[in-house]
Amino acid sequence: MFKEDRNLALKLYRKRLKRKKCFRLSFLLPGLGQFCQDRKVSGSLFFLLFSFPFYYLYLIGDLLSYGGISLILSQLTLYILQLYDAYKRTFRETSPCEDSCPAGVVVPTFMGFCQKGDFEKAFASFLLRAPFPFTLGEICPAECEKKCGILPGRSLRIREVHRELARIVLESMEIGEREPFFPRVNRKVAVVGGGVAGLTVSYYLASCGLSVEIFEKENHLGGILNYVPDFKLNKELFKREIEFITSFKNVKVHTGVELKERPEGFDVVVVCVGSQVERKFPVNSPRVIYPLSFLKNPPSLSGKRVLIIGAGDTAFDVARLTVKRGGEAVVLYRGEVKGVRASDKEVRDSLKEGVKLYTGCELLKIEGGRALFSCGSFDFDYIVPAIGFDRDLRLIESLNGDFVTGDAASGMTTAVEAIGRARETAYRVLKSLGLSDRAWFMEDYYVKEPQTISGENLFVVSESSLCQHCGMKVRS
The answer to the question of residue 178 being in a domain is no
The answer to the question of residue 183 being in a domain is no
The total number of structural domains that make up the chain: 4
Domain encompassing residue 84: 4-89
Distance separating the N- and C-terminal Cα atoms of the chain: 39
* Shared-domain flag, residues 397 and 359: no
pLDDT at 55: 59
pLDDT at 1: 82
Nearest to 311 by CA among 285, 342, 283: 342
Three-class secondary structure of residue 233 per DSSP: coil
* Shared-domain flag, residues 230 and 206: yes
Please identify, among 34, 65, 89, the residue that sits at the C-terminal boundary of a domain. 89
Which residues of the chain, if any, have pLDDT below 50? 473-476
CB 17 within 8 A of CB 25: no
The answer to the question of residue 258 being in a domain is yes
* Shared-domain flag, residues 163 and 115: yes
* Shared-domain flag, residues 309 and 363: yes
* Shared-domain flag, residues 448 and 430: no
pLDDT at 476: 33
146: exposed, middle or buried (Cβ count in 10 Å: 0-12, 13-18, 19+): middle
* Shared-domain flag, residues 379 and 466: no
The answer to the question of residue 404 being in a domain is yes
Distance CA 391, CA 193 (A): 13
* Shared-domain flag, residues 394 and 273: yes
147: domain CATH number?
A: 1.10.1060.10
Distance CA 433, CA 253 (A): 22
CB 384 within 8 A of CB 359: no
The answer to the question of residue 370 being in a domain is yes
* Shared-domain flag, residues 256 and 331: no
Distance CA 236, CA 233 (A): 9
* Shared-domain flag, residues 383 and 284: yes
* Shared-domain flag, residues 70 and 14: yes
* Shared-domain flag, residues 376 and 284: yes
Read off the pLDDT of residues 69-92 as tens digits, 9 standing for 90 and up.
777 788 788 888 888 888 776 667
Read off the pLDDT of residues 400-419 as tens digits, 9 standing for 90 and up.
999 999 999 989 999 999 99
Nearest to 317 by CA among 342, 288, 335, 338: 342
* Shared-domain flag, residues 258 and 304: no
The answer to the question of residue 179 being in a domain is no
Distance CA 288, CA 280 (A): 11
